[in-house]
Structure 1
Amino acid sequence: MASIDPTDYVEVVEGQTSLKFGNEKQQAKFELGVCMAVYKWEELNTAVDNSWGGANSADKRDWISGIVIDLFDETVVDIQLIEETLLYAMVDEFDTEIDNDSALEIAALVMKFYKEASLENYTNIDIAYGKWQEKQGKSQTHKVTIGSDPNNPDVSDDESEDEGEDDSNVPALVEDDSMEVDEPKGPIIDDDGFEMVQKKGNRRR
């Protein structure tokens, strides 16, 4: 893999208050890219497959996608910040310390997807998603929702059964303390190819 510069960064242009894309499609594609990058992290997948984070291990993986997306609500983000966020999440949620450069590689991929999305170039994001679909055997996709804390869900599983959403549009991000994680097995894509992600909070130290 090509050498990674951990100081590589993106920052807002004049007049903007965050790195979040104002264009709905750009933001949706970028969030999809983040999910695909996080799902590519083998060390995290191993932790999830072995339930190192407990019964909610899969939920925690999707929560990690959410906190990475949250970083881009700020005005400046660099690769090292993303890497540290990933490493802290592994310690906090899976009691696992990563001593290789795998988190750095995932952080660099997130940065790459952000820069490409900023140019409205979604080729690599779509390729990553296509490969993920193949890996899943084109099984039924599940909604990715990011709860405030997978260890302490505030809502019962029964409430997560509600099916009243209109999937034709990407919804606004919801800041709701009662939100829970609902069987996140991967991103859900609407009819226009947009990913739908709900997220809450950034637990980075």
Structure 2
Amino acid sequence: MSRIDPTEFVQALDGQSSLKFPNERQQSHFELGVTMAVHKWEELNVAVDNSWGGPNSADKRDWISGIVIDLFEEKIVDVQLVEETLLYAMLDEFDVHVDNDSALEIANMIIKFYQKAQLNDFSDIDILYERWQIRQQNRQAQKVKVEDDPENPSSDEEDDEEHEHYHEDQHIDDSMEVDNGPVVDDDGFTLVQTKKGNRRR
């Protein structure tokens, strides 16, 4: 990787009060670029995945993207300012001190995205966005459906089993011989109730 110059900066054009693009297409692509760069920051992703910022960790990552975008309301922004903003946000929101150059790399990427957006070149942003979409699809596909515990069946399964047991018990009850006393047939013979059937006596 080539050496990053932390003093590299972007400056608003003459007559403009901020670095915000007057062209909506440029501004929306740049904001997407910032969001994708922040999502690319591995140290932040680890913090979010482990909920180091609490249950709203994912929202805090989006908030970080927002405060970086807000930096460009000023007339001059350099790589170092973006890097410091990322580091302070990580420390404040996730209680994580990043001691490598990962924030510097993300900050440099954001400045490059701005410079290219000025030239209406959104190719790098689009590529990063496409890769992010693929990662999201893969993550969704990898979600494993939790199977029902056979030791603790669902209520539906219990209802089905009770229903089956009811019919089995009913079938057993219907097939059992019940002794209701002597039975006399039409010829006057007394029938004896046995398991094998009725016999004359």
TM more than 0.5: yes
Cα deviation, 1:36-85, whole Å, max 9, x if unaligned, reads: 00000000000000000000000000000000000000000000000000
- Choose 1 or 2 for highest CA Rg: 2
Per the alignment, residue 200 of structure 1 pairs with none
Superposed displacement of residue 33, structure 1: 0.2
Q: Which residue of structure 1 lines up, in the alignment, with residue 128 of structure 2? A: 128
Q: Distance in 1 between matches of 2:13 and 2:38?
A: 27
CA–CA separation in structure 2 for the residues paired with 1:81 and 1:133: 29
Match of 1:111 in 2: 111
Pairwise CA distance, 1:14: 1.1
Which residue of 2 is the match for residue 72 of structure 1? 72
Q: Distance in 2 between matches of 1:40 and 1:15?
A: 34
Gaps of 5+ in 2: 141-201
- Kindly tell me: are residues 139 and 48 of structure 1, through their superposed partners in 2, closer, same or farther at Cα, counting changes over 3 Å? closer
Report the secondary structure of 1:10's partner residue: strand
1:44 aligned partner, one-letter code: L
Q: CA RMSD in A?
A: 1.2
Whether 1:85 and 2:85 are equivalent positions in the alignment is yes
Deviation at 1:105, TM superposition (A): 0.2
Q: Partner letter of residue 136 of structure 2?
A: Q
Q: How does 1:49-198 map to 2 (within 5 A)?
A: 49-137=49-137
Letter in 2 for 1:14: D
In the superposition, relative to structure 1, how do residues 134 and 77 fare at CA in structure 2: closer, same or farther (>3 Å)?
same
Q: Verify: 1:25 aligned to 2:28, yes or no.
A: no
Larger RCO, structure (CA 8 Å, separation 6 or more): 1
Query: Matched residues in 1 for 2:133 and 2:3: separation?
Result: 29
Q: 1:12, CA displacement in angstroms?
A: 1.1
CA distance in 1, matches of 2:83, 2:125: 19
Aligned equivalents of 1:60 and 1:14: distance in 2? Answer: 35
3-state SS, counterpart of residue 77 of structure 1: strand
Question: Could you tell me how far 1:139 is from its partner in structure 2?
Answer: 8.1
User: 2:61 is paired with a residue of what secondary structure?
Assistant: helix
Question: What code does the residue aligned with 1:67 have?
Answer: I
Separation in structure 1 between the aligned mates of residue 18 and residue 101 of structure 2, nearest angstrom:
28
Q: Which amino acid aligns with 2:128?
A: A
Q: Aligned partners of 1:139 and 1:84: how far apart in 2?
A: 31
Runs of at least 4 residues of structure 1 off by over 3 A? none
Partner of 1:43 in structure 2? 43
**Alignment gaps of 5+ in structure 1:** 141-205
CA offsets 1:87-118 (integer angstroms, 9 cap, x no match):
00001100000000000000000001000001
Give percent identity, aligned residues only: 67
Measure how far apart 1:137 and its partner are: 1.1
- Distance in 2, matches of 1:2 and 1:119, equals 22
* d(CA) in 1 for partners of 2:126, 2:139: 18
1:130-170 CA-to-partner distances (Å, cap 9, x unmatched) read 00011111789xxxxxxxxxxxxxxxxxxxxxxxxxxxxxx
| TM-score, structure 1 as length reference | 0.67
How many pairs were matched up?
140
**Residue 13 (structure 1) shift:** 1.4
Q: What CA distance in whole angstroms lies between the structure 2 residues aligned with 1:134 and 1:91? A: 29
